[in-house]
Amino acid sequence: MSLRILVVLLGLLPASAGTEQAASAEQASVKTWAGRHHEIEESLRTEECVSMEVLTPKYLSRCTFRSGGPVARMAWQPLFLVPNRGFKDSYKTNIAAYELDKLLKMDMVPPAVERRMQGSIGSATLWVEKIVDATGPEPTDVKSRAHWDAQLARMAMFDNLIANRDRNKRNMLRDDAWNLILIDHTRAFGPGAELLYTMTRIDEEYWAKIEALTRSQLDAALRDWIDASEIEAILKRREAMRAAIKSPGR
């Protein structure tokens, strides 16, 4: 399935669609941060790292905390420099994606905070346990398929809003109940107003939350992580999404 054209379905996804399936799935969700954002954020900022495993040299490590706290492990991405590829690659946009997810009450992006470790500053992100990536088989039963497709629709809307050019099945994670978790947003945001993904299915409830966003809310949540032109671009991409949603033929 193409990640640029996620699901070919016409019309609007009702706010109540998949409610029963979603409620059942959330009972088994690994999203331990839901309703506990402040507690998880504080743990990511302050807990002692007792061991560090390098996963990708100079780019990504996994830190293990002492047992007993709300966070067992975290992903650590320090400030890094990459050759000019026509876009920036920044740990700060990991945090911006999480903060925007919080504003939208989506709970699909794990908590991420700024932290200094080993002489470097970077993003500390909750390492979500008991998950796999989306490279494996997709759900085959009707209830799980409906739940998964509804989340893919939200993901496409979110990725358009943040101009996430690097969505792939390895940074789409899921638990056993097919709850979708989105990670690795170091190449998101930027000043462009174009939409990167075709929205062929719209979640009305989620779109209402996007429509309700104000510039003051975005400034308060994101100004430490992205600049004013990038915040303005979020609103421009929302306008482009609005035009696409209201275009004839939908």
List the Cα angle 187/79/58 in 5-degree steps: 95
pLDDT tens across 91-125, in order?
Answer: 999 999 999 999 999 999 999 999 999 889 999 99
CB proximity list for 227: less than 8 A, separation 6 or greater: none
Considering only 34-48, 67-81, 178-192, 222-236, which range has the smallest mean pLDDT?
67-81
C-beta of residue 173 within 8 angstroms of C-beta of residue 210: no
Q: Any idea where the domains of the chain sit in the sequence?
A: 12-246
What pLDDT shows up at residue 110? 98
Q: Which residue has the higher pLDDT, 14 or 217?
A: 217
pLDDT at 158: 98
Q: Give, in order, the Cα–Cα distances in Å from 8 to each of 15, 18, 146, 201, 202.
A: 18, 17, 13, 7, 11
The residue that leads in pLDDT, 1 or 158, is 158
pLDDT tens, 231-250? Answer: 999 999 999 999 999 876 55
pLDDT of res. 11? 40
Percent of the chain with pLDDT over 90: 76
Please name which of 205, 208, 200, 183 lies closest in space to residue 249, comparing C-alpha atoms.
200
CA quadruple 218, 42, 174, 20: dihedral positive or negative?
A: negative
pLDDT in tens, 18-61: 444 444 444 457 999 999 999 999 999 999 999 999 999 888 99
pLDDT confidence of residue 1: 41
Q: Would you say the pTM of this structure is higher than 0.75?
A: yes
State the pLDDT at residue 85.
Answer: 59
- Please say if the pLDDT value at position 169 is more than 60: yes
Distances from the Cα of 121 to the Cα of 212, 227, 238, angstroms:
33, 18, 31
The CATH number of the domain covering residues in 12-246: 1.10.510
Instruction: Give the whole-angstrom CA distance, residue 130 versus residue 177.
Output: 11
Average pLDDT, the chain: 87
**Average pLDDT over every residue of 135-148:** 95
2 has pLDDT over 70: no
- Can you read off the two tokens belonging to residue 103? 């504003």
Per-residue pLDDT at 82: 58
Residue 28, pLDDT score: 54
Q: What local confidence, expressed as pLDDT, does residue 113 receive?
A: 98
